[in-house]
């Protein structure tokens, strides 16, 4: 898993490359926790353009993170999930749980307004 971050005020974009699952959750959790050390960060945007798969552990983490960010009045946003990830979100009925955007700048813009 390759993780790149971009900061935009109260939002941080995590650009993920590789499968989002139990075997890489430690790295993802570490990257998110590092960003959340700043009290300013309230929203996490996951760019999933290059994530071909997300397993149940990854989905559970996103749900837990959504609850954690709600305490800061923030949320998890998803950008460009590929067809497989979109199908998984639909199958698990979680697609409506997260705001999904086609472009990262649209997700960040929605936070600023």
What is the reported pLDDT for 109?
Answer: 86
Span 30-83, pLDDT tens digits: 999 999 998 889 999 999 999 999 999 999 999 999 999 999 999 999 999 999
Does residue 18 surpass a pLDDT of 90? yes
Strand intervals (E) in the chain: 2-8, 11-17, 43-50, 76-79, 99-101
Q: What kind of architecture, by CATH, is found in domain 2-112?
A: 2-Layer Sandwich (3.30)
**Where do the structural domains in the chain lie, given as residue ranges?**
2-112
CA nearest 46: which of 73, 71, 20, 64? 20
What number is the average pLDDT over the span 102-112?
85
Share of the chain above pLDDT 70, in %: 98
If phi > 0 it is left, if psi is from -120 to 50 it is alpha, else beta; for residue 9 that is left
pTM of model > 0.85 = yes
Instruction: Express the helix, strand and coil content of the chain in percent, nearest 5 each.
Output: 45, 25, 25
């Amino acid at each position: 898993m390759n993780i790149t971050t971009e900061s935009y005020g109260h939002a941080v974009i995590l650009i993920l490359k590789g499968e989002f699952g139990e075997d890489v959750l430690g790295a993802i959790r570490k990257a998110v926790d590092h960003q959340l050390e700043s009290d300013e960060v309230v929203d996490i945007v996951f760019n999933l353009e290059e994530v071909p798969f997300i397993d149940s552990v990854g989905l559970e983490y996103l749900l837990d993170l959504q609850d954690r960010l709600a305490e800061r009045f923030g949320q998890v946003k998803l950008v460009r999930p590929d067809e497989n990830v979109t199908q998984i979100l639909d199958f698990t009925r979680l697609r409506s749980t997260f705001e999904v955007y086609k472009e990262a700048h649209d997700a960040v813009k929605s936070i600023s307004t």
